[in-house]
Amino acid sequence: MELSEEDLALVQVLQAYPRLGWSDAAKVLGVHATTLAARWERLRSSGAAWVTAHLAGDPRQMLLAFVAVDSEMHLRESVTAQLAAIPEIVTVEEAASNRDLMLTVITRSLEEFSSKVGSRLKGIEGLTKYQSALCTRLHTSADEWRLNILGKSQLAALRTLGQQGRPDTKQAAAGGARLPENHLDLLPFLARDGRATAADIARELGRHPATVQRQLNRVLASRLLLFRCEIAQSYSSYPVTCQWFANVPAGRHEEAAAALRTISNVRLSASTTGPTNFVIIMWLQSLADVMTAELALQQKVPGIDLVESVVMLRTVKRVGWMLNDDTTASGAVVHARKPGAAE
C-alpha cells in the first residue's frame, strides 16, 4: 500500500486537530466530508494511520521515564514481549547501541513506577539490567510533530477552524488532572479510537449518551490526555528514529527547547535526571541525516554536548499501540491503567 498526497494531507489535518469533524476538514481540503470519512476509514483499517489518546506525561501531574534495558540475546524476543504487555510501559523500541531496548514509561507517581514497573522488570527472565532517566520537564512531544504537506492557504484555514473549536481555557483549568472514576472509564475507548464520540462510548459502557457527553467534555478539558494522529513510520518519508542523550548547561534548558522547536524533525525533547540531562528524539529520512541533525543541534543549541546517539531498529509498541514489523498498527492496544482517580 502507498499513501497518496491526499492521504498525507488528511493525516496532517488530523495531526493538528485529531477530533476535527469531517465537515470542517472538508473546508480545509476541498473534498466532500463523506469522501474524507471513507478515506480515513481505509487508512485506519489498514493500520497506516490512527488517532489515539494517551496520558500527557506532564511531570507536574505524573511521572514520565525513559528506561534503557539490557537482555540476554537468546531471550530478547521473550523479554520484549513481556515488556510490551505492561500497560505502564507505553513505548518499546529495539536499539542499535549498547542498550538493547528503550522504553518510555508513564505512571502516576515515583512510588507507582517502583511498584508497578520496577518490580516487574526485576522478575523478567533474561532482563539483565535497566537504567532509568526521569523526565523533569517535557518540552516537546510527538503530538506536535507534523507532515509537511498542506499549502499556506490550507494551513491558514486549519488554524481558523482549530481556534473556533478550542475548549474554554477556564473550563480546562478547572478540569484539573483528578477526575472521578466513572470519567476515567472513557480513557481505554479514547486510546483505541481518539475520535470516538460520546454515542460510541455510551453504547460500549451502557450509559446515557448525554451523561457520557458531559464526562467526555470534562476529560477533554482536563488536559490529562494528549490526542494525536499517528502515521506508520514507513509511510511518513522519515523511516529512521534517532534518540540523543545530551547535556545542556544549567539554566539554558528552556532556551534549548525553544531552539529545538524550530527543527521540524524533532518528535520529543525533555529535561531529565541521570548521567545526561536532556533527551531529544527525531525522525529522519536516512542514516546519513544523523550527522546532519547533530550539526543542526550544535548550531541551534550552543554549548550542547551530545553524549550518545541511539538509532532504533524496530518499534514494537508506540504509546500503547502494538505495531507490525512494517510499522503499521496491528490494532492491539495495551492500555495504561487509570491514573489519578479521585479517592
Show the cell assigned to 238: 522519515
pLDDT tens digits, residue range 48-60? 999 999 888 788 8
Inter-residue contact 64 to 268 (CB < 8 Å): no
pLDDT tens digits, residue range 15-39? 999 999 999 999 999 999 999 999 9
Count CA within 13 A, CB hemisphere, residue 166: 10
pLDDT tens digits, residue range 76-128? 999 999 999 999 999 999 999 889 999 999 998 999 999 999 999 999 999 99
Helix (H) / strand (E) element for 9: namely helix 5-16
pLDDT of residue 180: 87
pLDDT, greater one: 190 or 2: 190
Could you count the other beta carbons within 10 Å of the beta carbon of residue 182? 13
pLDDT of residue 172: 42
pLDDT tens digits, residue range 246-284? 999 999 999 999 999 999 999 999 999 999 999 999 999
Orientation of helix 198-205 relative to helix 209-222, angle to 10°: 120
pLDDT tens digits, residue range 197-245? 999 999 999 999 999 999 999 999 988 889 999 999 999 999 999 999 9
Distances in whole angstroms, Cα of residue 38 to Cα of each of 7, 17, 63: 11, 18, 38
Distance of alpha carbon 12 from alpha carbon 29, whole angstroms: 11
Residue (of 123, 64, 131, 122) closest to 100 by Cα position: 131
Distance of alpha carbon 43 from alpha carbon 51, whole angstroms: 11
How many helices, marked H, and strands, marked E, lie in the chain?
A: 14, 12
Distances in whole angstroms, Cα of residue 301 to Cα of each of 250, 271, 321, 325: 13, 14, 33, 35
